[in-house]
Amino acid sequence: MFPAVTTPTTPVVFAITGASGAPYAVRLLEMLANNHVPTWLLVSAHGWRLLAEECGIKDEAALKKATGGDWQSVRAFNDSDRGAEPASGSVQTRGMVVCPCSMGTMAAIAQGTSRSLIERAADVTLKERRKLVLVPRETPLSLVHLRNMTLAAEAGATILPAAPGFYQRPKEITQLVDFVVQRIVDHLGLEIQLIKPWQG
C-alpha cells in the first residue's frame, strides 16, 4: 500500500449506501466537515432513502444542516456520474470510506463491477493501493456475504463492521455511534478524537 497522501487539499472519498446505519454516516460527515477535512461525498439512491428513513434527511440541504452547516471542505458528486474525479486513478485521494456499506455494494466492490461512481471510486482506490474502509452493518451474514468480504479484504480493503464496543460503558446511543466513527477516522489516518483511547 502506498504511503498516505497528507497534503491539506487531498480529499477523502466518502460514500453512503443503502445499508442501515445512517447515524454513523451523518456523524462521520459532521466530523469531517467540522475539522475541515477535504471530503468528496457520494450518496447512492438507496443511501438517500436510508438517510430519509432513519434520520429524516431528504436532500443535500438537509444533510448539510444536520452535519453543522459548514461544507466549505465538502464537495458532493452524483453517483451516476462515472466520469467525475473520484473515478480517476490519476487524481490523488487520502483514501475512501463506504459507511454504511450495503452487501450489494460490498459484492460489487469485491467483483469489480464499477456500475456507479461509488463502485468505480472503490475500484480505483484498490487498484491505486490506497486505503479503502468498508463499514458493513448487516447481520446475520450469509456465506455469500462472508466470501465477498473476504475477496474485498484480499484485494486490500479494511472491513470495519459497525459493531461498537461496550467497555467504555456508554450511556447514550451517540456514544456507540462515536465508537465506530472513531475507528473509521483512525483507519483513515485522520487526527480526530471523539472518544478517549482505552487505558486498561
Residue boundaries of the structural domains of the chain: 12-187
The long-range contacts involving 170-174, CB below 8 angstroms and separated by at least 24 positions, are 173/23, 174/27
Does residue 29 contact residue 39 with C-beta atoms inside 8 Å?
yes
What predicted TM-score, i.e. pTM, was given to this entire model?
0.95
What class does CATH assign to 12-187? alpha beta
Question: What confidence score (pLDDT) does residue 200 get?
Answer: 76
Is the pLDDT at 117 greater than 60? The verdict is: yes
Q: What is the mean pLDDT of residues 164-181?
A: 95
Reported as a single tens digit per residue, the pLDDT across 36-89 is 999 999 999 999 999 999 999 999 999 999 999 999 999 999 999 999 999 999
Q: What is the mean pLDDT of residues 139-166?
A: 98
Q: What is the mean pLDDT of residues 88-115?
A: 98
Question: What confidence score (pLDDT) does residue 196 get?
Answer: 86
Please, which residues bridge with residue 45 across strands?
none
Question: What confidence score (pLDDT) does residue 1 get?
Answer: 52
Q: In 16-47, which positions are buried (b, 16+ CB within 10 angstroms) versus exposed (e)?
A: bbbbebbbbbbbbbbbbbeeebbbbbbbbebb
Q: Which three cell numbers stand for residue 92?
A: 490523488
Average pLDDT, the chain: 95
Question: What confidence score (pLDDT) does residue 172 get?
Answer: 96
Helix H or strand E segment including 55: helix 45-55
Q: In 126-141, which positions are buried (b, 16+ CB within 10 angstroms) versus exposed (e)?
A: bebebbbbbbbbbeee
Question: What confidence score (pLDDT) does residue 199 get?
Answer: 82
